[in-house]
Every structure is written in structure tokens, then in C-alpha cells.
Amino acid sequence: MSRLPRGVYLVLDADVCVAAGHAPADVAVAAVRAGIGTVQVRAKGAGVRDQVALTVAVAQALHDAPPAVLLVDDRVDVALAARTRGARVDGVHVGQDDLEVADARALLGPDAVVGVTAGRPALLRAAGGADYVGSGPVRLTATKPEAGPALGAAGVRAVVDATTLPVVAIGGLTADDAPAVRAAGAHALAVVGAVCSAPDPGGAAAALVAAWARAEAPAVTR
Ligand SMILES: Cc1ncc(COP(=O)(O)OP(=O)(O)O)c(N)n1
Ligand SMILES: Cc1nc(C(=O)O)sc1CCOP(=O)(O)O
Ligand SMILES: [Mg+2]
């Protein structure tokens, strides 16, 4: 049983939220109330102290919301510092230039959720011990212009076929992609812009959750 919820996964990018006029903690709460099961705090433009404060604020805001897995992008130290301040932080998502999965788990404990980016099968060696794999970009995306090449649904399938770990598809995805991403075998569909940039993040999250559920139904009844 995976420690990562199936379905829609929000990468809560603080810069994207603020650019759209939203407070990140409000977006997190709206998304989780709409049925999103995982929230990853991503704040590339913030210093480390602000990242800790943001993570604590998101964890506190989610306290009375339905249960959701809360992760931090890149920074094990931020996750640990937020925990030290009493925040419930479940784990981290590490990239190829961050701490290795085993080191992250050693620091966060055996129950931590640790995800890793492995956009092509050759990178999966670094994923040993992780709870899930982030696919690399399904499409090129303005949210992370440096991410590429685009994998398409076939590339997601190649990652799925090359690992026993759950695969989280990411990069340029919207509710319209739920059927293809599900058909490729992804465990979850991750978004930044589709929720953080939406005029109504809660409504956008609900539409993604509904699209995932509709896409999943045929696989269940087959
Ligand atoms: C679910 C998920 N998949 C991939 C990534 C990308 O992580 P990373 O390679 O660390 O790149 P940055 O997000 O740090 O730019 C992710 N964050 N989440
Ligand atoms: C954070 C991130 N990681 C990616 C990867 O391919 O590793 S793509 C990406 C950004 C996804 O944002 P949007 O949903 O707005 O396209
Ligand atoms: Mg990262």
C-alpha cells in the first residue's frame, strides 16, 4: 500500500500563487477541501527562513482540513525545522541535485514520505528506497521552463514500466489530461498552474479531482 494518496497532487508554488493574487495557505486549504490528497510546498524564490515559515503556515492552515500528505520540495532541513516548530510535515520531494533518498529518509525517519524526480528510466537507480517517482515533464511548461524534454504520455508509460514505484506525472497538465495520464499507469497527476494560477483554486482543484475520478472509473470496472 503506497504512502502517497492516488489522484491529484498539488505542488503549491508560492511564487505562482502570489502572482495570481492568492495566499499559498488559502490555496492549500481550498485544494484539500476539494479532495486533493497531497500538497508539496515549493518556494524557489524564498530564503530558507521564509521556507520554514511558509511550511509551518501551510501545515497550520491544513490542521482542520481533511487529512492530506504534506511534503517540502528539495529541503530536508526545512521539513525538519518545521517539524521542530510543531508542524506535521510528512516528508520531502528531492530532485537529482538534492540530498539522496537514503539520506533524506535517515534524517526524516522511516515513516517519512520521500519522493524523487526520475524523468527517464536511467535515473531510476537513484530512486531506490523512495515512496514514489516524479515523472519529469509530460509537456514543456512555463512554470519550470528548464524542465525537458517533454515525455508525453508514452514517456510516462516508459517510467511506469521501468519501476515498481508509484509514478506521479507532472508538467503542463490539466483536467483534460486525466484520462491519458491514468491510462499510462500514473498513480497521481501533479499540477502547479492548473490550481495555483486559477481564479478559483478550489473550483479548479475540484474539477481536477472529478476528472481523475471519471478517468479512473473504466479501469475499475474492467
Ligand atoms: C511530484 C513532483 N515531481 C517532480 C518535481 C520536480 O522536482 P525537482 O526535480 O526537485 O525540481 P524542482 O521542483 O525542485 O524545480 C516535483 N517538485 N514534484
Ligand atoms: C515543479 C515541476 N517539476 C517538473 C518536472 O518535470 O520535474 S515540471 C514542474 C512544474 C509543473 O507546473 P505546471 O503544472 O504549472 O506545468
Ligand atoms: Mg525539487
CA 211 / ligand 1 centre spacing (Å)? 23
Cis ω before 149 (30° cut-off from 0): yes
Is 3 labelled as part of a ligand binding site?
A: no
Mean pLDDT within 155-178: 96
In a domain, residue 2? The reply is: no
Work out the number of other CB atoms within 10 angstroms of the CB of residue 99: 19
Percent of the chain predicted with pLDDT > 70: 97
Which residues, including other chains, have CB under 8 Å from residue 167's CB and lie 6 or more apart? 132, 133, 134, 135, 156, 159, 160, 185, 186, 187
pLDDT value at position 119?
A: 80
Is 98 labelled as part of a ligand binding site?
A: yes
Is 214 labelled as part of a ligand binding site?
A: no
Whether 1 has a pLDDT exceeding 90, the answer reads: no
Mean pLDDT within 174-188: 97
Percent of the chain predicted with pLDDT > 90: 90
Whether 217 has a pLDDT exceeding 60, the answer reads: no
**Cα distances (angstroms) measured from residue 142 to each of 16, 145, 152, 193:** 11, 5, 16, 9
Rounded to whole angstroms, the Cα distance separating 113 from 109 reads: 9
Mean pLDDT within 59-75: 98
Q: Which pTM does this prediction carry? A: 0.97
pLDDT value at position 222?
A: 35
Residues with C-beta less than 6 Å from any ligand 2 atom? 11, 117, 134, 136-137, 141, 143-144, 147, 170-173, 191-194
Is 157 labelled as part of a ligand binding site?
A: no
Q: To the nearest 10°, report the CA torsion of 57, 94, 121, 146.
A: 80
Q: Encode pLDDT of 81-138 as tens digits.
A: 999 999 999 999 999 999 999 999 999 999 999 999 998 778 888 788 999 999 989 9
Atom of ligand 1 nearest to the CA of 190: 1
pLDDT value at position 218?
A: 47
**Atom 6 of ligand 1, nearest CA residue:** 117
For ligand 1, say whether the CB of 127 is within 6 Å of any of its atoms: no
Rounded to whole angstroms, the Cα distance separating 27 from 18 reads: 10
In a domain, residue 41? The reply is: yes
In a domain, residue 51? The reply is: yes
Return the best residue to mutate from 92, 141, 167 for the ligand 2 pocket (most ligand atoms within 8 A of CB): 141
**Cα distances (angstroms) measured from residue 78 to each of 23, 72, 172, 193:** 20, 7, 27, 23
Q: Encode pLDDT of 113-122 as tens digits.
A: 999 999 877 8
For CA atoms 7, 11, 12, 15, the dihedral sign is negative
**133 in Cβ contact with 116 (< 8 Å):** yes
Task: Give the CATH number, domain containing residue 195.
Answer: 3.20.20.70
Which residues, including other chains, have CB under 8 Å from residue 194's CB and lie 6 or more apart? 173, 174, 175, 204, 208
In a domain, residue 110? The reply is: yes
Is 163 labelled as part of a ligand binding site?
A: no
Regarding predicted confidence, which is higher, 4 or 220?
A: 4
CA 67 / ligand 2 centre spacing (Å)? 24
Ion ligand 3: residues, Cβ under 5 Å: 73-74, 95
Number of domains observed in the structure of the chain: 1
User: Which domain range does residue 118 map to?
Assistant: 7-221
CA 59 / ligand 1 centre spacing (Å)? 20
In a domain, residue 119? The reply is: yes
- pLDDT interval class at 221 (50, 70, 90): very low
In a domain, residue 46? The reply is: yes
Looking at all shown ligands, the one closest to residue 169's CA atom is 1
Rounded to whole angstroms, the Cα distance separating 128 from 197 reads: 34
> What is the residue whose three cell numbers read 495566499?
23
Mean pLDDT within 23-40: 98
